[in-house]
Amino acid sequence: MLPRRAGRGPRRTSERDRLQSGMLDLARKHAPAVAEQLGYAIVEFRCGVIQDLALDLDALEVELSETLVSDPVNYSTLQHAEERLRRDCPLVPNDSVDCVLSNCVLNLVRGQDRRQLFAEIFRVLRFAGRAAEQRCLDACQPSTSLMLSASQMIA
């Protein structure tokens, strides 16, 4: 049984979440064949969110399957599990990435999460690592907060 949210009924998986999960499954399924054709494998497909690159959502899914979050005690247990996963087996370890590339994704992160987003990017980048974002131009205005330099965002 899914937990109920105040006044909203059971929690549902959004169509976007199902689509993204399907895309991840498809990428993971075909990665070995692509690597075989290339003669090497240099890409891994992982499940996480860019503003919290330490939390492995696949590992968290296992934790959730073992703990029904139905009361404050279980919620606290889940929070401790998240902290343990971040600390003991981060999705992306500190100083482990040469380059972070984003194709029109950073602007989708909520404004209140942007400091954490840039902090995570800097946490995972190796010394002299690079970060780049491709901005999509469309009818909406670019976010002024993303136009600030990352150092201003973290400071």
130 bridge partner residues: 99
The domain containing residue 39 runs over which residues? 13-45
Residues 57 and 33 in one domain: no
What is the Cβ-side half-sphere exposure of residue 150, based on CA atoms within 13 angstroms? 13
Query: What is the pTM assigned to this prediction?
Result: 0.69
Residues 132 and 113 in one domain: yes
Position 1 in a domain: no
* Dihedral sign for Cα atoms in the order 32, 34, 35, 39: positive
Task: Enter the tokens of residue 30.
Answer: 């075909």
Please write the tens of the pLDDT for every residue from 48-81.
Answer: 888 999 999 999 999 888 888 889 988 999 999 9
CA dist 107 → 3, 18, 103 (Å): 30, 21, 10
Q: Which residues of the chain have pLDDT under 70?
A: 1-20, 136-155
Residues 58 and 40 in one domain: no
Residues 76 and 106 in one domain: no
- pLDDT for the residue 3: 39
Percent helix, percent strand, percent coil in the chain, to nearest 5: 50, 15, 35
